[in-house]
């Protein structure tokens, strides 16, 4: 049932945000201007600069902050421990790295020049995740400036490799488990189910990402002189990829579903009760029709079923006109989204065995593992989630819904495993926000309300945490 909340955002906090809005927005725009693309080494200086920027912003907010070097991009840790040893400690996680902005020609305004149109802040990273991580820094600043202290101890952990698989983060967490010890973890790196409808996530899919390389002849060959007598690597790769699904959209890798847990009728009923408009979803994608594994609804396919998908394909001649060539090699990027209790390492073994089994003779096929992460599903009981419900209801005037998610945040499983703390995923994106795509945006209204919701969350965690 959706009801207005009896709790309101405290007046002093609300006023702080109202008065400081232009400054906060200006700072966010500065952060969005730095092209911290973690996947490209030519941006290494930008990611390092962004880490320093985030640390400085934490210090300006009144926290202590340190930048930790890793073999990859730096990790920033902010701390405020003035609430005393009996108060709870909250760890907030975010990522300052962004996806590559290409293809640039499809952006209506430059990706690293934030622009407001129709109540939306357009920029690469606006919603994923700079805008959302900044909510936490500014919420803490608001509490510190208006009240002089925070009601809880706080650790902010901000990494620069989330978009490339968080390779160095779990070892950092393991090595610094004492520093990062927390009673609760909060993450704003996801979307609300619909405009005006605040949401708490109960699940994320995991990930197992591979590159498949097929090598045939040592050079490209004339397809007339050699075609039909030399095995074609592009054809070989196509054959291998085609064996990965059956005609009903099930993944056909042997053993792939062995560990998949049935969510049960109650969970499916809850999914069905959400206000989901399938046609609206289709239109948003621009696809002629939706499709997937037989026997499941769209939301079920996205949240509780695993996938194996081609993310990229490369082989042969793809330029203008025709070139009769037998390519010497072919490559595919393939990733599987995983659901509880699938294990990324086991999926890697199964996929390797599958590729080996179906690789035709006459080519050599190699599978390289790129990155992986565990799936996550939580029981949303306890004071952390009650506090989040109150904070979201106060800021949005509406009780939050519980939703699942098809995307992945690899570190979430680690937080639960290494820190033993419950994880709250409370995001402020929206459907159609173009994360990872051209024209990424964050809703201005969600930014404004998100500031208040996050500030109130920290407040509520102290009161009832
Ligand atoms: N913010 C996303 C995670 C996400 C995606 C949350 C969609 C809610 C909806 C995150 O930055 C992301 O994109 N993660 C990657 C992780 C991957 C590189 C392991 C993803 O899901 O592709
Ligand atoms: Zn992302």
Query: Which amino acid residue places its CA nearest to atom 7 of ligand 1?
Result: 407
Write down the catalytic residue from 27, 46, 97, 405.
97
Residue 6: per-residue pLDDT: 54
Would you say residue 412 has pLDDT above 70?
yes
pLDDT band at 462 (very low <50, low <70, confident <90, very high): confident
Residue 265: CB partners within 8 Å, gap ≥ 6?
none
Nearest ligand 1 atom, CA 189: 1
Would you say residue 5 has pLDDT above 60?
no
Q: Tell me the mean pLDDT in the region 147-170.
A: 95
* Residue 391 backbone dihedrals phi, psi, to 5 degrees: -65, -45
- Any atom of ligand 1 within 6 Å of the Cβ of 372: no
Residue 308: per-residue pLDDT: 98
Q: Tell me the mean pLDDT in the region 285-312.
A: 97
Q: CA 27, CA 32: separation in Å to the nearest integer?
A: 9
219-238 pLDDT, tens per residue? 999 999 999 999 999 999 99
> How many whole angstroms from 83 Cα to the centroid of ligand 2?
33
- Any atom of ligand 1 within 6 Å of the Cβ of 430: no
Q: CA 305, CA 205: separation in Å to the nearest integer?
A: 9
Longest dimension (CA), the chain: 80
Q: CA 152, CA 460: separation in Å to the nearest integer?
A: 10
Residue 2: per-residue pLDDT: 39
Q: Tell me the mean pLDDT in the region 325-345.
A: 98
Known active-site residue 162: yes
Would you say residue 210 has pLDDT above 50?
yes
Write down the catalytic residue from 162, 163, 189, 460.
162
Rounded to the nearest angstrom, the gap between the alpha carbon of residue 401 and the centroid of all alpha carbons in its chain is 19
The mean of the pLDDT values for the chain is: 96
Would you say residue 121 has pLDDT above 90?
yes
Q: Tell me the mean pLDDT in the region 177-186.
A: 95
- Any atom of ligand 1 within 6 Å of the Cβ of 405: yes
Judge if pTM exceeds 0.75. Answer: yes
> How many whole angstroms from 29 Cα to the centroid of ligand 1?
22
% of residues, the chain, pLDDT over 90: 95
Q: Evaluate the omega torsion of the peptide bond into residue 100 and state whether it is cis, within 30 degrees of 0.
A: no
Known active-site residue 97: yes
Sign of the alpha-carbon torsion through 47, 48, 50, 55 = positive
Using CB atoms within 10 Å of the CB of residue 266, give its burial: 0 to 12 exposed, 13 to 18 middle, 19+ buried. Answer: exposed
Taken in order of first residue, the domains within the chain and their CATH numbers are 11-204+375-464 (3.40.630.10), 206-255+306-371 (3.30.70.360)
- Any atom of ligand 1 within 6 Å of the Cβ of 440: no
pLDDT band at 272 (very low <50, low <70, confident <90, very high): very high
> How many whole angstroms from 160 Cα to the centroid of ligand 1?
13
Residue in 97, 98, 131, 163 to alter for ligand 1 test, most ligand atoms within 8 A of Cβ: 163
Residue 363: CB partners within 8 Å, gap ≥ 6?
214, 215, 216, 231, 233, 236
pLDDT band at 7 (very low <50, low <70, confident <90, very high): confident
Q: Tell me the mean pLDDT in the region 366-393.
A: 95
> If you search the block for the tokens 């309300």, which residue do you land on?
449
Q: Tell me the mean pLDDT in the region 201-210.
A: 97
pLDDT band at 3 (very low <50, low <70, confident <90, very high): very low
- Any atom of ligand 1 within 6 Å of the Cβ of 189: yes
Would you say residue 4 has pLDDT above 50?
no
Structural contact between residues 290 and 235, judged by C-beta atoms closer than 8 angstroms = no
């Amino acid at each position: 049932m959706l009801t207005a909340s009896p709790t309101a955002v405290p007046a002093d906090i609300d006023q702080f945000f109202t008065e400081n809005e232009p400054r906060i927005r200006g700072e966010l725009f500065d952060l969005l201007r730095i092209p911290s693309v973690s996947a490209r080494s030519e941006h290494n200086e930008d990611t390092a600069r962004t880490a320093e920027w985030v640390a400085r912003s934490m210090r300006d907010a009144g926290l202590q902050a340190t930048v930790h070097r890793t073999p990859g991009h730096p990790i920033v840790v902010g701390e405020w421990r003035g609430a005393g040893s009996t108060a709870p400690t909250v760890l907030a996680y975010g990522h300052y790295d962004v996806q590559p902005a290409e293809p640039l020609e499809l952006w209506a305004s430059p990706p690293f020049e934030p622009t407001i149109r129709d109540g939306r802040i357009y920029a690469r990273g606006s919603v994923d995740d700079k805008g959302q991580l900044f909510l936490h820094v500014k919420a803490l600043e608001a509490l510190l400036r208006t009240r002089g202290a925070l009601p809880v101890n706080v650790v902010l952990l901000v990494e620069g490799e989330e978009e490339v698989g968080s390779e160095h983060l779990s070892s950092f967490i393991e090595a610094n488990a004492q520093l990062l010890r927390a009673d609760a973890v909060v993450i704003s790196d996801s979307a609300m189910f619909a405009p005006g409808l605040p949401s708490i996530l109960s699940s994320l899919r995991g990930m197992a990402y591979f590159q498949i390389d097929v090598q045939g002849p040592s050079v490209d060959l004339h397809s007339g002189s050699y075609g039909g007598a030399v095995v074609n690597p592009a054809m070989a790769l196509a054959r291998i990829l085609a064996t990965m699904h059956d005609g009903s959209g099930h993944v056909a890798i042997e053993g792939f579903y062995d560990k998949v847990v049935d969510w049960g009728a109650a969970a499916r009923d809850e999914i069905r009760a959400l206000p989901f408009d399938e046609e609206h979803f289709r239109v948003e994608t621009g696809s002629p029709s939706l499709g997937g594994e037989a026997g499941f609804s769209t939301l079920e396919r996205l949240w509780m079923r695993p996938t194996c998908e081609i993310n990229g394909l490369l082989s042969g001649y793809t330029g203008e006109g025709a070139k009769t060539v037998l390519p010497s090699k072919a490559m595919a990027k393939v990733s599987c989204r995983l659901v509880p209790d699938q294990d990324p390492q086991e999926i890697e073994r199964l996929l390797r065995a599958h590729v080996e089994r179906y690789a035709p003779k006459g080519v050599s096929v190699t599978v390289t593992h790129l990155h992986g992460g565990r799936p996550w599903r939580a029981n949303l009981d306890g004071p952390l989630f009650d506090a989040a419900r109150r904070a979201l209801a106060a800021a949005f005037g509406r009780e939050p819904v519980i939703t699942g998610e098809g995307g992945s945040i690899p570190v979430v499983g680690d937080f639960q495993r290494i820190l033993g703390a419950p994880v709250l995923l409370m995001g402020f994106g929206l459907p159609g926000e173009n994360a990872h795509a051209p024209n990424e945006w964050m809703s201005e209204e969600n930014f404004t309300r998100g500031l208040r919701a996050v500030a109130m969350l920290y407040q509520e965690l102290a009161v009832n945490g």
